[in-house]
Amino acid sequence: MKHWWKNAVIYQIYPKSFQDSNGDGIGDLRGIIQRLPYLKKLGIDAIWLSPVYKSPEIDNGYDISDYEDIDPSFGTLNDMDELIKQAQQLGIRIVMDLVVNHTSDQHPWFIESKKNRDSPYRNFYIWRDPVNGHEPNNLQSGFLGSAWKYDKNSGQYYLHLWSPEQPDLNWSNPQVREKIYKMINFWINRGISGFRMDAIELIGKDPDKKIIANGPKLHDYLKEMNKYTFSKKDILTVGETWQTNPKIIEKYTDPKNKEFSMVFQFSGQGIDTIPGKEKWDYKSVTPQELKKVFTDWQVGYNFEHMWLGLVLENHDLPRVISRWGNDNNLRIPCAKMFAIVTHMMKGTPFIYQGEEIGMTNFHFKSISEVRDIESKNMYKERLSKGYSKAEVIAEINAKSRDNARTPMQWNTKRNAGFTTGTPWININPNYKSINVDACLKDPLSIFNTYKRLIQLRHDNENIMEGSFRIYENQNQNVLSYIRQSANKKWLIVANLSSVEQNFSSGYKTKKVLLTNYRPRKSMEKIRLKPYEAFVVSVC
Ligand code: GLC
Ligand code: CA
């Protein structure tokens, strides 16, 4: 069976920051509908929508209080149906975010569960007695502090691997699973084509033994979920899984296991963290390290038995050019280089909103500009440990999730065309030069590189089906690889550094398919420009 998602390119929208249609400063579904023609122009196959369900928005929608309704700040169920319909008319599918490791503490299940120990919903969540008057154990929350919260009323603790307002569902309860599967089918029946599975590696946990990711029951649950939901249609499922290796990835994505279509390739995300420290303890990255990361994204996998989602950016990561490249004088060639390297790989590429125009990290000057719960908690904690404000703001500028959450930069008008009101988070002042309008006018824009990469993928089977092989070159700053099928052989070359580099290949260029500088006639003993990258068919 040829799955639609195998040679697709997916575009992630962070709805709150994409396009506001009613002037309240918050992006919404009507705003997305307005921008569908833009996405059509880019050529993507599907949109992954970060959560738009009803939510108190403690974690920007990753805390859901009603799975079968839309949050009023984003619109209505009718707007959602309209989005699905209008997107479909343009050949664009909709993928939703499935957040089922936890709910909001405002979800009716949790409100009921909390009422007393005998509530029929008690067992929907994970409640434990105190141990010697304390938390059951020392499990930590992803947003700092204990993962257990005491409930005075019932004298027990509940588990929250994220904020206290995000209590973990009890997946060992079959009633919970049944309700979740019903909800998944509710969306599939509404015309949804896929799900991005939030924090999914956590659902099989055994909190008493402190086994969290990759817990003992994880794959049983996923097989069961697949059986009752996704298997009925050709649904794309992509797991947000961080604790993986090639073996674990096969477990999730080998078609014979009937779990997921793919999981994200997050290997190497830690290279800019000082080893053994927290993500905030950042360090710079060398081109040699980058070369290893990109190599590890592809080598050592048997793609017959697994599949990957390829990602440079998402709503939890800083902007890639600011993080691993150059967001300044070499911003344009650098952004194109990252795009070429990633999109010519095997797997399904995901583009995060704004990546296609080379948006950059924000420069936060004070904590009052920061919106993200994770950054705010970290700020408090580190100040209490004696860090200076300046140090912590520097860490936020390097690593905060808010870097990716500033509004989409559409044009040079007020608020970058994102809203006529006051945006919920500041707009990057560089929107006057970095914006969609400017990119659409310029045939050599980053946008047009992405567009071309998507076309190449759609038109050439060797990108999806062909083999991947590293083309050995002696230069540690230059990555080169071959994508080959029965009729096509392409060489991809990328200078991962900001300075010129030597490269040489005996291959003869048949055709230059894409480059971020001038096309080269020969590849014999050449000096690659800063971040130069190209795709050539060779013989
Ligand atoms: C995932 C989401 C992130 C969220 C967390 C808790 O990691 O991508 O944004 O905060 O799950 O739901
Ligand atoms: Ca709005």
- pLDDT digit string, tens, across residues 317-375: 999 999 999 999 999 999 999 999 999 999 999 999 999 999 999 999 999 999 999 99
Q: Which residues make Cβ contacts (< 8 Å) with residue 107, sequence separation at least 6?
A: 64, 65, 66
> How high is the pLDDT of residue 115?
98
Mean pLDDT within 378-401 = 98
Mean pLDDT within 203-224 = 98
**How far does residue 396's CA lie from ligand 2's centre (Å)?**
27
What is the assigned CATH class of domain 103-168?
alpha beta
Q: Which ligand is nearest to the CA of 25?
A: 2
Tokens read off for 257:
């296991």
Q: Where are the domains of the chain?
A: 4-101+174-364+400-447, 103-168, 466-538
3-state secondary structure of 127: strand
Contact 58, 164 (CB under 8 A): no
CB-ligand 1 contact for 71 (6 Å cutoff): no
Return d(Cα 128, Cα 207) in angstroms, integer: 10
Residue 78 CA to chain centroid, in angstroms?
A: 27
> How high is the pLDDT of residue 513?
98
Mean pLDDT score across all residues of the chain: 98
Return d(Cα 411, Cα 16) in angstroms, integer: 18
> How high is the pLDDT of residue 1?
73
3-state secondary structure of 86: helix
> How high is the pLDDT of residue 2?
87
CB-ligand 1 contact for 317 (6 Å cutoff): no
Return d(Cα 47, Cα 84) in angstroms, integer: 10
* Per-residue pLDDT tens over the stretch 490-538: 999 999 999 999 999 999 999 999 999 999 989 999 999 999 999 999 9
Mean pLDDT within 219-246 = 97
CATH code, residues 4-101+174-364+400-447: 3.20.20.80
> How high is the pLDDT of residue 94?
98
**How far does residue 198's CA lie from ligand 1's centre (Å)?**
6
**How far does residue 142's CA lie from ligand 1's centre (Å)?**
9
Contact 495, 478 (CB under 8 A): yes
What is the assigned CATH class of domain 466-538?
mainly beta
- Using most ligand atoms within 8 A of CB, pick from 49, 62, 162 the residue to mutate for ligand 1: 62
In the DSSP assignment, the letter for residue 403 is G
Known active-site residue 63: no
* 113 backbone dihedrals φ, ψ, rounded to 5°: -60, -35
* Per-residue pLDDT tens over the stretch 102-146: 999 999 999 999 999 999 999 999 999 999 999 999 999 999 999
> How high is the pLDDT of residue 341?
98
Q: What is the dihedral of CA 144, 148, 150, 154, to 10 degrees?
A: 160
Query: Percent of the chain, pLDDT > 90?
Result: 99
Mean pLDDT within 424-451 = 98
Known active-site residue 168: no
Contact 80, 28 (CB under 8 A): no
Do domains 4-101+174-364+400-447 and 103-168 share one topology? The answer is: no
Return d(Cα 306, Cα 246) in angstroms, integer: 9
* Per-residue pLDDT tens over the stretch 150-209: 999 999 999 999 999 999 999 999 999 999 999 999 999 999 999 999 999 999 999 999
